Structure 1
Amino acid sequence: MNKVVVGSEEWCSFPELGIPTIKARVDSGAKTSALHAINIAPFIKNESNWVKFDINPIQNNSKTIIHCEAPLIDKRIVKSSSGFREQRYVILTNLKIGETTWSIEVTLTNRDTMGFRMLLGREAMSGRILVDPAQQFLLGQPTSDTLKEIYKNSEKAPSGLRIGLLASNPELYSNKRIMEAGEMRGHEMHFLNIKECYMKLDAKKPEIHYRGGKILNEFDAIIPRIRPSITFYGCALTRQFEALNVFCLNSSTAITQSRDKLFSLQLLLHSGIGIPTTGFANSPLDTDDLIKMVGGSPLIIKLLEGTQGKGVVLAETKKAAESVINAFKSLNANILVQEFIKEANGKDLRLFVVDGKVVATIQREAMPGEFRANIHLGGTASVIKATAEEKKIAIKAAKAMDLKVAGVDIIRSSKGPLLLEVNSSPGLEGIETATNKDIAGEMIKAIEKNFKLDTTKTLT
């Protein structure tokens, strides 16, 4: 077999993926090959595993996009040149270099921060290629005009919005659904990993950068989905987008106050919304009266800094309550003490509010023997019809917290419906699966509504 002689950089193509030409880094030091891909989503086709993804084949050009799909052959951990380990989807597809075509394995990953959209590794080259590292483009290269002509039909129509999903895990069901819903409605969707964003604070020219130096100032809207463990940094990024006059579906202020359990309860009470009787004290000397305040044992003890469903303890006796409260206080941990709603029988309601409307409701029930401390910790979900009063409470709670998107948790008690918690980044999987409703689509519609109402902004 005559081997193809190539330089350290060459132009190649992927006929089966519909990629007519793309610049590749030829790197015999890399074992596997990698192709730039965004909006990666596995799916079933003809009872086989496939994966679809988008690619911007030209470096620093986000307007040109190709939608690809290919059979999925594997999912493996790949270690990058910087030492970062990442789980990637692997496809098998034909590569064409010069006049030679053969099948290679390619891993899919976001290479926005890299110098090349394609990395050709030694496994794909074995037996077929000889590399002259001192040379480049031995097989020729297209001019800028040629590239423009090749990709003239791949330019995105300027009809949608440029929307960023600010989150941590692109594989999470909720995040994949939001990306999918935005694309289905004709918008340009970008997943922005919170940990890979950083900012420039400047009075005249504030900026947000993505790892590698890419500037993220040209977004129409941002959907913040910030996990509790990175609330501080995620909200700082959201504020920076707000400073750039980018519409944020939930504001940084609303997210911040929703994560402060004590403050959020005070805001809800100020709006006349009922909650389980709750006590808060600073000193262990007040423990006895604190317990009496919420009706005695059994009672719930919640860490203020705990995430949803965590840092929650059920104290079944007064002695147990005193022990737990004093232990937390000795660690200088702030806690809430709350009455236990026995008649709820391990059930609560999750009402999903989008833009002032309850779009779906489920009832969540604990598994037999599972502890539920007035808060959802797992179990099963089923469709249920919320009462008019429960819907009113949910809408009122979201408004009190200034949240356009909220998961509102309500418990049914002998005193009527009581509000447990308001979540600013509610998950979609359980409620969409149970109700078969397109909640992700409702979130995208809320963004569209904002731009229709604000005539000073135009779709880009």
Structure 2
Amino acid sequence: MKIPLAPRPVMLNLKILLLSRKFEIYSSHRLVEEIVSREHTPVLWDPEWPLARLKIQPDIIIPRISSFQFPEAVAVLKALETTGATTLNPSQYYSVARNKWQTYQALHANQIATPETFLVSRSTKRELPLPFIVKQLESSKGDGVFLANSDEEVSEIFQKTGDRELIVQEFFSEAFGTDVRAFVIGDQIHAVMKRTARPGEFRSNLALGGTAEACELLPGESELILKTTRLLGLQVSGVDLLRTRKGSLVLEANPCPGLEGIEKYSKKNLASSIIQYAEALHGRHQTSR
């Protein structure tokens, strides 16, 4: 895919650490590609590696942390932050955004439109009419998301996941299998796509075989998206919207949004935009010291 080149950076040879367990995937590859293209030094670091072996002090940290062993990875991120490096999505904000219940609580408390959601355990009774969506608190790419049509199915989900708590979320039949993903960097929406699930699937995630197309935001959606990212303190995120009979609702704000699908469908060089934003953020931090 041909993506337009970006202007050369003002600051050269920054050490940019990518904290990830998967350096071979598209998003990691693209970020490294743009780090090198903009004449910086990429530092690849797996959260499982002993920090005592890290001999380079990074200028910028870009966390790409999945749900696998998430608390351990966040602990590593917190330790790296003590070096004074500029971090895209600092650990305290990353942790809230990765937890769907904490995200809902923050959105609801600040009157940001979101589906009605409850935290449930094996013993609590459901408070929403069936069917409803059941989600693990920390999951991504559609994993850990289920459609429950009966109480028996909810019990089966608890057995399958082994979790003590899950969230149940209001279901909207008119939005079945579709949502809108907005890619936000800083205080700007850089790309938007509408995702559609493959036949027979209710989850629209591209990782599960969904398709996408570039789309325009409806009136009021830009404000809703940016209010969400400001509230959650995210500098890079993928905000998911559901268009329903109640209007546009925020589903979540992913602090580790994938690049492959949205670069493909928007034809925008989002990896370069992330690095340029990191350069500018680092420059502001240096000036303020």
Q: Normalized against structure 2, the TM-score is what?
A: 0.88
Distance (Å, rounded) in 2 between the aligned partners of 1:414 and 1:378? 26
Instruction: Tell me how large the CA RMSD over aligned residues is.
Output: 2.2
Please give the secondary structure, in 2, of the residue aligned with 1:228: coil
One-letter amino acid of the structure 2 residue matched with residue 231 of structure 1: F
- Note if 1:182 corresponds to 2:39: no
Match of 2:131 among 294, 298, 306: 298
**1:267 aligned residue:** 106
SS of the counterpart of 2:120?
coil
Aligned equivalents of 2:43, 2:22: Cα separation in 1:
13
Partner of 2:152: 323
User: Per-residue CA shift, 1:327-385, capped at 9, x if unaligned?
Assistant: 4567562011111111113210010010111100011001122233x877431011001
Report SS of the residue matched to 1:301.
strand
**Mapping of residues 55-66 of structure 1, within 5 Å:** none
Q: CA 1:329–1:219 in 2, change beyond 3 Å: closer, same or farther?
A: closer
Q: Which structure has greater helix proportion? A: 2
Map of 1:364 onto structure 2: 195
- Structure number with larger C-alpha Rg: 1
Query: Which residue is equivalent to 2:5?
Result: none
- Specify the alignment match of 2:143 in structure 1: 310
User: Retained in 2: the 8 A contact 1:238–1:248?
Assistant: no
Q: Residues 393 and 378 from structure 1, CA distance in 2 versus in 1: closer, same or farther, beyond 3 angstroms?
A: farther
In the alignment, is the contact (CA less than 8 A) between 2:184 and 2:237 conserved in 1?
A: yes
User: Residue 46 of structure 2 corresponds to which residue in structure 1?
Assistant: 193
Q: What is the correspondence of 1:45-56 to structure 2 with a 5 Å cutoff?
A: none
Whether the aligned pair in 2 keeps the contact of 1:283 and 1:329 (CA below 8 Å) is yes
For 1:435, give the aligned amino acid: S
- Relative distance call for 1:332 and 1:174 in structure 2 (3 A) is closer
Q: Aligned residue for 2:179?
A: 348
> Whole-Å Cα distance in 2 between the matches of residues 242 and 329 of structure 1?
36
Which residue does the alignment assign to 1:173? 26
Equivalent pair of 1:350/1:362 in contact (CA under 8 Å): yes
> 1:388-414: CA deviations, max 9, x gaps?
422211111111111101111111001
Do the aligned partners of 2:148 and 2:154 also contact (CA within 8 Å) in 1?
A: no
Question: Equivalents in 1 of 2:17, 2:80: separation in Å?
Answer: 10
The residue aligned with 2:52 is 209
Q: SS of 1:209's equivalent?
A: helix
Counterpart in the other structure of 1:386: 217
Q: Could you say which residue in structure 2 is the equivalent of 1:449? A: 280
Partner of 2:6: none
Structure 2 Cα separation of the partners of residues 315 and 455 of structure 1 = 51
How far 1:452 moved relative to its partner?
Answer: 2.6
SS at match of 2:220: helix
Aligned equivalents of 2:223, 2:282: Cα separation in 1: 26
Amino acid at match of 1:340: F
Measured in 2, the distance between the counterparts of 1:387 and 1:179 equals 34
Structure 1 residues 457, 175: closer, same or farther in 2, change over 3 A? farther
- Tell me which residue corresponds to 1:159: 12
- 1:18 corresponds to which residue? none
Greater RCO structure (CA 8 Å; 6+ sep)? 2
Judge conservation of contact 1:351–1:361 (CA < 8 Å) in 2. Answer: yes
2:96 is the alignment partner of 1:257:
yes
State the identity %. Answer: 32
Tell me how far apart the structure 1 counterparts of residues 16 and 284 of structure 2 sit (CA, whole Å). 17
Change (3 A) 1:457 1:167: farther
Give the Cα–Cα distance (whole angstroms) in 2 for the partners of residues 422 and 368 of structure 1.
Answer: 25
Look up the SS of the partner of 1:351 in the other structure: strand
Q: What SS does structure 2 have at the residue aligned with 1:194?
A: coil
Greater strand content: 1
Partner SS for 2:77:
helix
Given the alignment, which residue of 228, 234, 245 partners 2:73?
234
Cα 1:388–1:445 change in 2 (3 A) is farther
For residues 416 and 231 of structure 1, the distance between their equivalents in structure 2, rounded to whole angstroms, comes to 33
User: Between Structure 1 and Structure 2, how many residues are aligned?
Assistant: 277
- Give 1:255 shift: 1.2
CA separation in 2, counterparts of 1:375 and 1:174?
16
Q: In the alignment, what sits opposite 2:252?
A: 421
Shift of 1:254: 1.1
Counterpart AA for 1:238: L
Contact map agreement 2:104 2:117 (CA 8 A) in 1:
no
Letter in 2 for 1:259: R
Shift of 1:308: 4.2
Distance 1:433 1:161, change over 3 A: same
- The one-letter amino acid paired with 2:217 is A
Change (3 A) 1:279 1:457: closer
Q: 2:228 maps to what in 1?
A: 397
What SS class does the counterpart of residue 222 from structure 1 fall into? Answer: strand
Q: Structure 1 length normalisation: TM-score? A: 0.57
SS at match of 1:370: coil
